[in-house]
Amino acid sequence: MAKKQEIPMPFFTGDWIRCPELRVLPPDVRGLWMDMLCYMWESVERGVMVMPNGQPCTKEDVVRIIGTDSSGSTDWLNVLIENKVCEVREDGAIYSRRMVKDNLISEKRRLAGKKGGESTKAKVFIPKAEAALPTPQQQPDEVTDPPQLTPEQQEKVEKAKKYKYAEYVTLTRDEYTKLCVEYTEESAKEMIDMLNNYKGAKGKKYKSDYFTIRGWVKDKYYENLQKNGYRLKMQNPEPSGSTEGTGFRDTL
């Protein structure tokens, strides 16, 4: 099995030569920084000084790994930090801004290329595979609870919900309210009673009890008022037209 090729660390000579933060440092400190860059490139978290288990290296850990400067001092790390050559994260980890930034860009490009390659492979190979081979039986998806309705959706459901205002008559709350507003609640109840008696006697069904009441039931109700001078509850009315509008004889 071939060994996986390691990615070499890029080195930008122009940045190194012209970086003002580096040029003010003595050569031995710059050399120690180069050692740190190599360790951060090989780190499990690229660009950050961490242990193999991912724990941030303390300043003492870094000095123990890299060493001291030419005078034997360990203050060189503080000099790098104070001159903004490297940064310290909230968790105490020391890192290279440039290396972390470049690694993030590289990772995004790698993921974008992977998605593009998968999409291309799907377009090229999936149709052939489907034509040549039967679709394998898939395991049923895990059953999960449906998401809860939003307040707006719940409001729509409640608005469309119908209630029994008589044994055979169902209306939404809005429909019943409209009947009460337009004809008074007493008249609305009598019209509902008329339709209920008729449906119970004839076994009739209507797509909308609301529009049926506003149609022939209303007409019959006011016809009874005109004839008798009072509200008459009809036990078995004779419709005089369609189920949705004027008259109802054709529905018999």
- pLDDT for res 76: 93
Mean pLDDT of the 132-147 span: 65
CA dist., res. 233 & res. 99, Å (int): 88
- pLDDT for res 248: 37
The CATH code that applies to domain 13-100 is: 1.10.10
Measure the N-to-C terminal CA separation of the chain; round to a whole number of Å.
87
Query: Which of 68-72, 147-151, 174-178, 184-188 has the lowest average pLDDT?
Result: 147-151
Q: Is the pLDDT of residue 176 over 80?
A: yes
- pLDDT for res 151: 83
CA dist., res. 109 & res. 143, Å (int): 36
Q: Are 45 and 96 in contact (CB under 8 A)?
A: no
Q: Where in the chain is the domain with CATH 1.10.10?
A: 13-100
CA dist., res. 49 & res. 42, Å (int): 9
Give the side-chain half-sphere CA count within 13 A for 1: 1
More confident residue, 36 or 144: 36
Distances (CA, A) of 174 to 160, 163, 240: 9, 11, 27
Tens digits of per-residue pLDDT, 40-58?
Answer: 999 999 999 999 999 999 9
CA dist., res. 103 & res. 48, Å (int): 11
- pLDDT for res 245: 44
- pLDDT for res 140: 58
- pLDDT for res 133: 59
Mean pLDDT of the 221-238 span: 66
Tens digits of per-residue pLDDT, 191-229?
Answer: 999 889 998 888 888 888 999 998 999 898 888 888 876
Percentage of the residues of the chain whose pLDDT score is greater than 90:
33
Task: Using pLDDT thresholds of 50, 70 and 90, give the confidence band for residue 91.
Answer: very high
Q: Is the pLDDT of residue 92 over 90?
A: yes
CA 139 to chain centre: 25
